[in-house]
Structure 1
Amino acid sequence: MSRKDRDHFNLLCDIGELAALVTGSHNIETFMDSAVRLVSRHLKADVCSIYLYDESAEELILRATIGLNPKAVGRIRMKPGEGLVGATFENLHPIRESAAGGNPLFKYFEEADEERFESFLAVPIQRGVQRIGVLVVQHETADYFSERDVMALKASASQLAGAVENARLLMDLYEATGTHPEVQAPASLQFIRGQSASEGIAQGPITFFKKSHVAFLSGDAHRNENFTVEDFHEAVRQTSRQLADLQSRLAERLPESASLIFTAHFMILKDPKFIDRIVHQIAEGVSPPEAVKNVARHYINVFASSSHAYIREKVSDMEDLAGRILKNLFRRGAEKQENEKGKIVVAAELYPSEILKMASEEVQGVILVKGGITSHVSILARSLKIPLVIADHPHLMHLPEETPVLLDANVGNIYIRPDQEILLQFAGQEAAGKIAAASPSTVCRITQTGDGTRVRLLANINLLSELSTAKELNAEGIGLYRTEFPFIIRPTFPSEEEQYLVYKHLFDEMADREVTIRTLDIAGDKALVYANATSGKNPDLGLRSIRFSLRNRPLFEQQLRAILRAGAEARHLRIMFPMISSLDEFRDARSVVDACVRDLKREDLPHHPGPSIGMMVEVPSVVEIMPALAREADFFSIGTNDFIQYTLAVDRTNEKVADYYRAYHPAVLRGLARVVRAAKTAGREIAVCGEMGHETAYIPFLLGIGIRILSVGPQFLPALRERIAGLTLAEAERHARLLLAEDTLAGALKVLETPTSG
């Protein structure tokens, strides 16, 4: 494919152009108008139109157009299956006609003035399982659009879908439609010992997640002040500027395009009905703060009562947005944003997307009062270098706002109102750390034991921002790229094009090194609210990981196509399936990859023709069938976290049974040894990518049973190299034999704690 064709196909893949479309529009109507103009310009089409589906009326409505009579907007309506547009929506398949009038499905609308347009092309707009509408282009010339235009328009619909979905939600909204006493923490509370989940030292005043914003909606502060309608408009303008700034800063930290996390906020701000409702109440004598609260509560009630989980999630967006407007209103024109920058955030629980918002506001650290150190919130905090401590201490939630705290997340200590001696002690540690970091150091390029046994060290990556650290520390490749984070940070399924951008960045950065991409692994602490998948009472045993992907094949195909396209020029592309439990499941998943390769070849799109296909070893059921799996899988990687959890029937994120989660359990150790032996007998590569891989106490055992590849968080690479260099293979193998001979936990622990060299 020529470069011109690639630019044409990727169309709106420039995330900056899309972000500018969202932030630069004055209201929803101008956004929709700008969108159709942009697509029309790229495809050189005479007409571009957006039809959105109204769920309450069960109709597709023309909401924006360039080329048709503008008076037709809002007037042209059709049912799913009605006309070419309705057929596109109902079948979720593009329709291309060289002469639209000759198709018996074509429905003529006199008010559209479209009789002169011959060529017709329509594609569905959808986000995952949600049907949003239809994107249409037309041209006066017959047989004008090519198959390449079909692919380009699909890319456009995918890129615009998130913002268009929020616009539709707000449009449909108008066509459908007590304070508790504060509990104070004891004044004597000075020190709490928690668990370190993300290392670092942080100091600052505390604030409570959501509390400062949500409190504005229920509190009565400033009720006696006089505000004008102009004060309200200025607060809205400031809020818009601040959100744009947050998006810009977050985009720098997260190339995954998480900047669009505030799209819903912008769509609400640009909704004239939202603004007009508030202005109308102010004109009737309601104070501006109360008017904002009243209208915000109306939105919240409508969102909260929806039967769709992804719409109910908008409640937090509305709370956040209204709180920001009220904070700006109360400051009366003060431009400086009062956010969580420089503060320690205390929260009862957090979603990964909320950690991302905190990163955009430059929090100093986070205290989580419940959760597990292996949860994905913890992993994400480590990726973003946000110190995080988990402390099961409810009194933390009742400290006064702005209470000074020092967070030693290296060991899990929390100092409340620290005295000068403690502050000076940590100031000295921090200064010493900076000096050490600035000192030149040599990073080994090759890792080997003391007697010369080669061990390959790869990096586990959650976010693209970690790639620079992995390369600086000479990771030999990416042993695990967790693809769920681009899904988690968005309010709905990322499109093929959005995923393509993320994976392309990954392959470009690691062009000369091995890259292993794990397909979507969701469930439990990584649940996608918008997925509408039944989590059940035990989500870790439910429709998760590869089960979800195979049950939702169109989504699985989008991800695989994006990986194959992005890795078209990669030297070492490896695709890995999570939570495989049977040979049949592996074959099913591999067949989808093969089908995607065939489709991309037929479409003449650049792609990798033959990636290596492997699987995670996480489920005990595979231990007995490893020889059969090893005949068909190209490689294996052991996810020790889940392997231990499922072998011992222990929820690794439940602090009540945390003591039962023991990697040194004889059943775990023997299961790992059998898996490694089967893989190596078949000549297959096998690695460890779970937490055991960076815990230095287990390195002798892993080397002793035959592991020669470890994939860990980049920050663990230096310590691992040092530990491995201090061992000999003979020592490691003897240590492994002793461990495998033990039948009891006590016996295994005694062997584990017996020093080996290094």
Structure 2
Amino acid sequence: MIMKMDEKRLSEPTRLETETEIKLKGATICPGIGIGQVRILDREFIVPRNEILESQVQSEQQRYSEAVKTVSDHLHEHIEETHTGSSLSSSLILKTHEAMLTDEQFHKAVISRISTEYKNAAWALEVEGEQIVAGLEASRSPYLMSRAEDIRDLVASIVDALSPTPKTYKKALRQDGELKVCISDNLFPSSVMEARRFHSVAFATESAALSSHAAILLKGFGIPAVGGLRGLRESAANGDQIIVDAVNGVVIIRPEPETVQRYITLKQELEVPEKLPPSPPISSRTKDGFDIHLMANINNPDQIQLVLRNRLEGVGLFRTEFFVLETESFPTEQEQFDIYHQVFTAAGGRRVVVRTFDIGGDKQIPDLHYCTGQNPALGVRGVRRHLLRRPDELQTQLRAILLAAVGFPVGILFPMITTVDDIREIKRLLESVKEELRAEDRPFSEEIQIGAMIEIPAAAISVGDILAEVDFVNVGTNDLLQYFVAADRDNDVVLRYENFENKAFLWLLGFIIERAAELGKEENVTICGEVASHPELVPLLLRLGFRSLSITPTSAQPVRNAIENTDLCVSSIKPTVN
């Protein structure tokens, strides 16, 4: 009962304090152990706030202009030192910061505040920056909210440059090289990307949105993470030593030396060597002999190694949109071909299911002009975006997949399917792409399978009609539950409704697999939502009738253990709604 268990954890006192160390209890997002120094992502900096005399206005405005020039002169150094190792290219970050630094309207507004409100430069800058950040964060767009972090970064840099000497600013640029554990009040994709940017060894957050896309990113990147940590921000300060025990859902702040040594030993015991000789997949079987197929969810090409290391049967879900989000641009056909061919080759004959770009909702990039609205999650996202606005983008991706899939077992999965008409339109577009390739005399995979994501209640109810048009379906329980109970999975306030054991939701899952069984296609249904990665919920899925799970690779062993300890002959679930 994962949601009830989490709610109980969050309602109880969460802090256990000894003389020096503080222990907080939360819930594991991605298993593992990380030890390092705290880096607070919700950046705080001290801004001197002084009223100035009219006679000081001109000199203060001059001081602001000189600070902007200092930041501009050292911008490349700042990007290289504070964003080194970023999954985003430094040139892209540089371009973003340069655009803000050359925004004359912004600088004029700051200078105007200095003269009209008689605020010192740093104070005027802070007020103007906060006004822009408030507007961006109110947009509910994850992309614009992540841009708010860029504004804060820039404001902090100029405030640093307003210090007495340029040396102070340059000193602030230097990193100490210590291992970092990123902590945050929130659990946004931008926070996770920033943690990855700093090569964070772990992540901890007060947010309990454990099924959010940001949580999925953490699992995909393999960053040990714990959420639902009440009191985290008030207990930890930048530079504190911290242990994130994402095996037991515990965080220890300012640990005793013996505690650190104990966790260093435990971490070494848990680590799997990076390079292992190729090994065949391990079959999974229940206590009473039912075979269960275990595959992996991955977010980028490098994670195929996690599939091999954990000896999974293949890739049940390759979320291609995440490498788009990392670069904030769409790759060309050739670039996509190279990525897919790399993954298919590395998979060594294992089946790989590639999901087309699921952009929109809380996964946005700069050139998305069609994914806005009062509620982007209910608007133009996933395949809707391709069919309604960007068919050319889908055609390019389909060409790349078809060309790269020659000689490999590959499936193409389409997200946000609502009706069978969506599938039929996609099939027509796919056939037109194949005709183009035939006309160009280019070899492509004729055996490629197509599938539909079942993540909208309407699609779940019409799953029989959809299965008649496709080779397989994947059940995305994260979005399916969100839409079913009308509760935003990223909103901590309504998390009580995000309960996978909701009777009505279990009935819906049961309906899906029963309808597939009636058509003789139960083997073509895979659960790929995060629920499949929770060992305590796996027996529930198996008793409903599901026999194929696609999971976070790092959850492989706990899920295997849960499967092996389940006896399906004991009972099966036929959920009813009273």
Both proteins in one fold, TM over 0.5: yes
Bigger shift: 518-527 or 454-463? 518-527
Corresponding residue for residue 94 of structure 2: 265
Q: 1:413 to 1:314 in 2, by over 3 A?
A: closer
Structure 2 counterparts to residues 664-675 of structure 1, below 5 A: 664-675=501-512
AA of the residue aligned to 2:551: V
State the shift of 1:654 in Å.
Answer: 2.9
Residues 113-124 of structure 1: pairs in structure 2 closer than 5 A: none
Structure 2: distance between partners of 1:249 and 1:665: 42
Aligned to 1:735: 571
Q: Which runs of 5+ in 1 are unaligned?
A: 1-185, 251-257, 279-289, 745-758
Partner-residue secondary structure (3-state), 2:445:
coil
User: Of 486, 502, 526, which aligns to 2:363?
Assistant: 526
Q: Deviations over 1:396-433 (max 9, x none)?
A: 26865434444333333333444x2xx52353143034
Q: Distance in 2 between matches of 1:612 and 1:479?
A: 13
Of 424, 427, 431, 2:258 maps to 424
**Aligned counterpart for 1:208 among listed residues 40, 62, 75:** 40
Sort the Cα spacing of 1:491 and 1:326 in 2 relative to 1 into closer, same or farther, 3 A.
Answer: farther
Alignment equivalent of 2:437, drawn from 584, 600, 625:
600
Match of 1:646 among 473, 476, 483: 483
Partner of 1:170: none
Q: 1:240 aligns with which of 76, 79, 82?
A: 76
Question: Hey, what's the Cα distance between the residues in 2 that align with 1:392 and 1:410?
Answer: 15
Q: Contact 1:483–1:519 at 8 Å: present in 2 too?
A: yes
Gaps of 5+ in 2: 1-16, 52-58, 108-119
Q: What is the SS of the residue equivalent to 1:735?
A: coil
Q: Map Cα deviations across residues 658-688 of structure 1 (whole Å, 9 max, x no partner).
A: 2333322333223222322332333431111
Shift in Å, 1:468: 0.9
Distance 1:333 1:260 in 2: 22
3-state SS in 2 of match to 1:402: coil
Q: Any idea what SS the aligned residue of 2:203 has?
A: strand
Instruction: Measure the CA separation in 2 of the matches of 1:391 and 1:632.
Output: 42
Deviations 1:581-618 (A, max 9, x none): 21111111222222222223334445333421111122
Q: Could you tell me which residue of structure 1 aligns to residue 114 of structure 2?
A: none
**Offset of residue 249 of structure 1:** 3.2
Matches of 1:292 and 1:493, distance apart in 2: 38
Report how many aligned residue pairs link the two structures.
524
How much has 1:520 moved relative to structure 2?
Answer: 2.1
Asked whether 1:454 is paired with 2:291, we answer: yes
1:363 is paired with a residue whose SS is: coil
Question: Which residues of 2 match residues 211-610 of structure 1 at below 5 A?
Answer: 211=43, 240=76, 243-244=79-80, 249-250=85-86, 258-260=87-89, 262-265=91-94, 316-317=149-150, 319-320=152-153, 323=156, 329-331=166-168, 337-338=174-175, 341-349=178-186, 351-370=188-207, 372-391=209-228, 393=230, 396=233, 400-418=237-255, 420=256, 423-437=257-271, 445-528=282-365, 530-552=367-389, 553-567=391-405, 569-610=406-447
Q: Distance in 2 between matches of 1:606 and 1:337?
A: 52
Query: Shift of residue 713 of structure 1?
Result: 0.8
Instruction: Please report the TM-score for the alignment, with normalisation by the length of structure 2.
Output: 0.75
Answer yes or no: is the 8 Å Cα contact 1:352–1:489 preserved in 2. no
Is structure 2 residue 557 aligned with structure 1 residue 718? yes
Contact 1:202 1:407 in 2 (8 A): yes
The alpha carbon displacement at 1:640 in A equals 1.8
Secondary structure class of the residue paired with 1:632: coil
Aligned to 1:197: 29
Report the CA distance between 1:394 and its aligned residue: 6.7
Q: 1:305–1:606: structure 2 CA closer, same or farther, 3 Å change rule?
A: farther
Q: State the SS of the aligned residue for 1:732.
A: coil
Rate the CA distance shift 1:721–1:392 in 2: closer, same or farther, 3 A.
closer
Residue 532 of structure 2 corresponds to: 693
Q: How many angstroms apart in 2 are the aligned matches of 1:312 and 1:479? A: 31
User: Residue 192 of structure 1 contacts residue 391 of structure 1 at CA under 8 Å; is this kept in 2?
Assistant: no
Q: Deviations over 1:158-179 (max 9, x none)?
A: xxxxxxxxxxxxxxxxxxxxxx
What are the superposed Cα offsets for residues 79-101 of structure 1, whole Å, 9 maximum, x if unpaired?
Answer: xxxxxxxxxxxxxxxxxxxxxxx
Q: What displacement does 1:714 show?
A: 0.8
> Do the aligned partners of residues 368 and 722 (structure 1) sit closer, same or farther apart at CA in structure 2, a change above 3 Å counting?
closer
Quick one: distance in 2 between partners of 1:429 and 1:259?
32
Q: Using the alignment, how far apart are the partners of 2:126 and 2:440 within structure 1? A: 48
- Contact kept? 1:240, 1:266, Cα under 8 Å: no
Preserved contact between residue 511 and residue 570 of structure 1 (Cα < 8 Å)? no
Paired residue type of 2:553: P
Q: Distance in 2 between matches of 1:219 and 1:360?
A: 35
Conservation of the 8 A alpha-carbon contact between 1:680 and 1:686:
no
Deviation at 1:513, TM superposition (A): 1.5
* Bigger Cα Rg: 1
Contact 1:204 1:405 in 2 (8 A): yes
Q: 2: CA distance between counterparts of 1:334 and 1:600? A: 57
> Against the structure 1 CA distance between its residues 323 and 660, is the aligned structure 2 distance closer, same or farther, given a 3 Å change threshold?
closer
Question: Quick check: 2:34–2:245 contact (8 Å CA) kept in 1?
Answer: yes
State the match for 1:24 in structure 2.
Answer: none
Is contact 1:353–1:488 with CA below 8 Å preserved after alignment?
Answer: no
Note the C-alpha offset of 1:652: 3.0
Quote the offset at 1:475 in angstroms. Answer: 1.3
- Alpha-carbon displacement from aligned partner over 1:427-451 (angstroms, at most 9, x marks no partner): 3143034135469999863223344
8 A Cα contact 2:287 2:565, kept in partner: yes
What's the TM-score, normalizing by structure 1?
0.59
Relative to structure 1, the CA distance from residue 494 to residue 312 in structure 2 (aligned partners, 3 Å threshold; closer, same or farther) is farther
Instruction: Letter of the 1:428 partner, please give it.
Output: R
Question: Do 2:417 and 2:452's aligned partners in 1 also have CA atoms closer than 8 Å?
Answer: yes
Report the alpha carbon displacement of residue 318 of structure 1 after superposing the two structures with TM. Answer: 5.8
Cα pair 2:371 2:381 within 8 Å, conserved: no
1:334–1:299 Cα change, 3 Å: closer
The one-character-per-residue Cα deviations of 1:120-172 (angstroms, maximum 9, x if unpaired) are xxxxxxxxxxxxxxxxxxxxxxxxxxxxxxxxxxxxxxxxxxxxxxxxxxxxx
From the superposition, tell whether residues 652 and 243 of structure 1 become closer, same or farther in structure 2 (CA, over 3 Å): closer
Contact 1:486-1:494 at 8 Å conserved across structures: no
Give, in angstroms, the shift of residue 532 of structure 1: 2.6
1:470 Cα offset (Å): 0.9
Which is bigger in relative contact order (C-alpha 8 A, separation at least 6)? Answer: 2
**Distance in 1 (alpha carbons) for counterparts of 2:248 and 2:83:** 33
C-alpha distance in structure 2 between counterparts of 1:417 and 1:190, whole Å:
7
SS in 2 for 1:489: helix
AA matched with 1:559: Q
Separation in 2, partners of 1:270, 1:668: 47
Matches within 5 A, 1:50-129: none
Q: How much identity, in percent, do the aligned residues show?
A: 24
**8 Å CA contact retained: 1:353, 1:489:** no
What does 1:736-751 align with in structure 2 at a 5 Å threshold? 736=572, 739-740=573-574, 743=577
Asked if the contact 1:461/1:482 (under 8 Å) is kept, the reply is: yes
In structure 2, do the counterparts of structure 1 residues 401 and 248 end up closer, same or farther at CA, with 3 Å as the change threshold?
A: closer
For 1:218 and 1:502, locate their aligned partners in 2 and report how far apart those are by CA, in whole Å.
51
